[in-house]
Amino acid sequence: MFQATPKTTPPLVTDAFATRLGVKAQSVRVRLCRTGSYYGVRPQKSPNGRLLWPADGPDRVLSGESINGQVAA
């Protein structure tokens, strides 16, 4: 019997994450470096060194949802 696997949205690279938020990618990198997250959203580091952000991260930041104890500005 065939089972359909749930569709998952691939993670976003930093440039795409920043574009969806309407900010520069460097702003995201600076905030990540200074605080360890971008308003509570933390990326995973891929083996090639790129940062992979959750696909729903921009939506969580823009909605002002509290993430990991931080309230998105």
| HEC per residue, the chain | CCCCCCCCCCCEEHHHHHHHHCCCHHHHHHHHHHHCCECCECCEECCCCCEEECCCHHHHHHHCCEECCEECC
Q: Residue 36 has what pLDDT?
A: 95
pTM score of the predicted model: 0.78
Q: Residue 58 has what pLDDT?
A: 93
Asked if the 13-65 domain carries CATH number 1.10.1660, the reply is yes
Q: Residue 34 has what pLDDT?
A: 97
What single-letter amino acid sits at 40? Answer: G
Taking only the tens place, the pLDDT of each residue in 4-25 is: 666 788 999 999 999 999 999 9
Q: Is the pLDDT of residue 40 over 70?
A: yes
Q: Residue 22 has what pLDDT?
A: 96
